Amino acid sequence: MIRAIVAHLPPWLAAPLRRIWRSVRRPLVRRRVVNVLRASEIGHGFEHITGDSLRAAWRRFGLDPYEVKFVASPRRQSASPRALTTLATMATSQTGPRINSFGLSSIRYEEHPAFAGVPFCSDPQIETLSRELSAKLDRVRDMARLPSTDVAHQVETRISPAVAGLFAALKEKNRDIAMFRDFAERFERKLVELIGEDMAVFADRGTHAYVDHSLQADAITQSLHDAGFWLGQFDPSRVNLLNRAVTRVQTLLWDRHQRERRTDREALSTNQWDAETSANLAAVFNEPAIITGVSNYMGASYLYAGCGFELSVPGTTWWSNRYRRGDESRETAYYHLDQSSKYPKMICYLTDVGEESGPTSLVSIGLSQSLLSWVAGRALDGISVDPDRGNDTNMGKMLVSTEAGRKCFGALPREMRCLGHFGNDILAGSPEERHIVDNRTVMLGPAGSFAVFDGSRTGHRGGIVASQHRWAFQAVYAKAP
């Protein structure tokens, strides 16, 4: 209610009211956390199991939850006795130097063996233009949180001219690099598109009134702010409803695997549903507490928008080495961020998943990167300079998978030499590998285990199935019309 009132006040009156509210909200927050931590003892459609993350979140409530960066910490098992999902923090026996943070810009491609011989940009003018663009992004992000800010206008008048100036200089500087102009033009369009999308999300988060409150929803919201994800477990009745909804699809996909010996994702997944099945799936994934928690996190009303359903079997190698080298980390391969920041996701198992059946793992990303690095890395995903390869995120079709692509990538300013699919660029035995392995959360659990997460801020990957098989949903949430 207070947020709703303040959002409609003029800035000169809203500012002092916000200061007064900040001075009194800490006692209220501490009081609420006691109730939230008791929520796991209340019967719901799913169990809340992230108490340690929640307590840490409330202790740090004074920090800005809308920053792109946040602190990662090892995820320890913190479930109540009733919780059904098992959390596994995978430790490593590696020795050597440690790092305390990791972001997309942590990877130094200038020192990467796969980029040996590739010239990297060091032009002072290009670097200056990049820093200016980065500063303007930070400024517009801060302005986006004010109710009076027209975000689209700020992007058009402040950001777009800075992007155009930088890319004009890049194209002029790199006229001799084959296919660079076409690459730069596609990259520029995607960069501006994602910046506009990100700023709109920042605006929603900065000025919204909470959609609703409940103990579970508040826990989900704060866990998304703090860790980038929230783990839970649907009860058996919901799992049974999901099983009944996809029985025919399961039979079809399993027969395709058995009779045709298919192991590829295209053959063993679907996102097409009839009206009855869609309604049954929505009845589960539109769980009120989840919808409210996601909506409060995003700053606008969100709803379940659809889902894919996939069978993973031994031999389904849908990620592999990017450079076909022996020094790439298998522990981090395929960790990535999603391009879009406006579509939170859910991964939900429909079978019991252990370490050998391809569990999903998540890791908090964004600790040492700027807003420009974050958006540039995501924008570069799916852009290829090889016309025969198309534009997608298949490991063989990524920009840096070819020599020509690596030259185009190296011509970018330092702050923009990032990739959203970062896991394949981490070397085995490196401090970056150790940091990710030490801080990742591997989601193990029975059918009905799920993770709700912000894929643009949380590094994630699905594991390769070594034995048995895995059925899993990938649901998407979108802003309500």
Tell me the pLDDT tens digit for each residue of 193-228.
Answer: 999 999 999 999 876 656 677 888 999 999 999 889
String of b and e for 439-466 (b: at least 16 CB within 10 Å)?
bbbbbbbbbbbbbbbbbbbbbbbbbbbe
User: What number is the average pLDDT over the span 332-340?
Assistant: 92
Residue 391 and residue 450 in one domain: yes
The pLDDT value given to residue 316 = 72
Determine the pLDDT at residue 110. Answer: 93
> Does any domain span residue 444?
yes
- If you average pLDDT over each of 4-18, 270-284, 455-469, which comes out highest? 270-284
Report the pLDDT averaged over residues 264-268.
86
Are 1 and 111 in the same domain?
no
The tally of CA atoms less than 13 A away on the side-chain side of residue 97 is 5
CATH of the domain at 259: 2.60.120.620
Enclosing H/E stretch for 12: helix 11-37
Is position 247 within any domain?
yes
Q: Which domain holds residue 28?
A: 1-34
Structure token digits, residue 280: 């049954």
Highest mean pLDDT among 26-30, 53-57, 137-141: 137-141
For β-strands 302-312 and 269-270, DSSP reports them as antiparallel
Output phi, psi for 427, to 5 deg: -85, 145
- Do 43 and 28 share a structural domain? no
Q: Which of 22-26, 74-78, 315-319, 396-400 has the highest mean pLDDT?
A: 396-400
- Same domain? For 254 and 340 the reply is yes
Say what the pLDDT of residue 97 is: 55
387 domain-assigned: yes
Q: Are residues 13 and 107 in the same domain?
A: no
Q: Which residues contact 151 (CB under 8 A, 6 or more apart)?
A: 140, 144, 196, 199, 200, 202, 203
Mean pLDDT of 265-283: 93
Number of other CB atoms surrounding residue 410 within 10 Å: 19
Query: Could you tell me if 17 and 6 are in contact, meaning their C-beta atoms sit under 8 angstroms apart?
Result: yes
At residue 311, the pLDDT reads: 94
Q: How many Å apart are CA 481 and CA 478, to the nearest integer?
A: 9
Compare 74 and 448 and report the one with higher pLDDT. 448
The pLDDT-based confidence of 72 (bands split at 50, 70, 90) is very low
One domain for residues 18 and 106: no
Which pLDDT band, with edges at 50, 70 and 90, does 31 fall under? very low
- For residues 452 and 290, the answer to whether their CB atoms sit within 8 Å is yes
Which pLDDT does position 399 carry in this prediction? 86
Alpha helices in 370-468 (DSSP H): 371-380, 403-410, 431-439
Q: Tell whether 49 and 26 lie within a shared domain.
A: no
C-alpha closest to that of 3 among 145, 106, 198, 171 = 145
Residue 192, in any domain of the structure: no
* Same-domain pairing of 240 and 280: yes
Residues 244 and 332 placed together within one structural domain of the fold: yes
Asked whether residue 45 carries a pLDDT value surpassing 70, the answer given is no
Asked if residue 332 belongs to a domain, the reply is yes
Question: Measuring CA to CA, which residue among 97, 95, 57 is closest to residue 73?
Answer: 57
Residue 15 maps to a domain: yes
Tens digit of pLDDT for each residue in 111-132? 999 999 999 999 999 999 999 9
pLDDT tens digit string along 79-89? 332 233 333 33
Going edge to edge, which strands form the sheet with 86-88? 86-88, 441-444, 360-364, 458-462
384 and 448 belong to one structural domain: yes
| Same domain for 110 and 4 | no
Q: What is the mean pLDDT of the chain?
A: 80
**pLDDT number for residue 50:** 35
Residue 262 counted as domain residue: yes
Q: For residues 30 and 65, state if they share a domain.
A: no
Confirm whether 151 is domain-assigned.
Answer: no
- Provide the pLDDT for residue 205: 86
What is the number of domains present in the chain? 2
Q: Tell me the average pLDDT across 146-158.
A: 92
**Alpha helices (H) in 80-159, listed in sequence order:** 124-144, 151-154
- For 306, left (φ over 0), alpha (ψ -120 to 50), or beta? left
Lowest mean pLDDT among 6-15, 101-110, 224-233, 472-481: 6-15
Q: What confidence score (pLDDT) does residue 383 get?
A: 86
CA distance 365 to 191: 20
The gap from C-alpha 229 to its chain's centroid, in whole angstroms, comes to 9
Q: What does the pLDDT read at residue 211?
A: 65
Check pLDDT > 80 for residue 481: yes
Longest CA–CA span in the chain (Å) reads 70
366-405 confidence digits (pLDDT tens)? 556 899 999 999 999 878 776 555 444 455 567 888 889 9
pLDDT of 58 higher than 70:
no
